[in-house]
Amino acid sequence: MRTSLPDGSVEFVIASDLNEARNLQEMIERQLRQCHYEDKEVFGIRLALEEAIVNAIKHGNGLDHRKKVQVRYRILPDRFDVSVTDEGPGYNPNAIPDPLADENLESPSGRGIFLMRHYMTEVTVHPPGNRLTMCKVRKKAHLHAEVCR
């Protein structure tokens, strides 16, 4: 389900389905490219989106197709904002072990939030932990503002 909001954001509500998540990410990626985001920026945003939405589907909603994930985003020439909300009980991001610690280096999981924080300018997990917002502020605003509207 797609909803356009007055502030220029677009909201999608998808089932907890990895295929739907993939389609949504690919659509956002295409829109970023239309707005002349550079390859490196698109790579980082897509990676952060993948981690956030997959976390919501798998860990938040437990892969339960009846539960929804809400993704709201806005693409501007100078920044990209997104929020991802699931129907789960939430989690404490501070409780996730440091993936760079020697004892965790060989752990097969636990790098999602770390990668989001690396590639995005700001990442916030809102209590109780089932809503995440993040933004990517671009170093130089692009001139093609009209394309993003």
**113: closest CA among 89, 136, 96?**
96
Upstream peptide bond of 128 is cis (omega within 30 degrees of 0): yes
**11: closest CA among 94, 69, 92?**
69
Query: Least distance to other proteins from the beta carbon of 99, Å?
Result: 6
Query: Least distance to other proteins from the beta carbon of 102, Å?
Result: 9
Task: Give the nearer residue to other proteins in terms of CB position, either 18 or 141.
Answer: 18
Q: Which one of residues 10, 11, 15, 47 is an interface residue with other proteins (CB under 8 A)?
A: 47
Angstrom distance (rounded) from CA 86 to CA 64: 11
**Contact status: 76 vs other proteins (CB under 8 A):** no
Residues 91-130 that bind other proteins (CB under 8 A): 99-100, 105-109, 111-112, 114-115, 118
**117: closest CA among 98, 142, 91?**
98
Phi, psi of 40 (to 5 degrees): -65, -40
Q: Which one of residues 1, 7, 40, 66 is an interface residue with other proteins (CB under 8 A)?
A: 40
Where along the sequence are the contacts to other proteins (CB under 8 A)?
A: 18-19, 21-22, 39-40, 43, 46-47, 50-51, 54, 58, 99-100, 105-109, 111-112, 114-115, 118
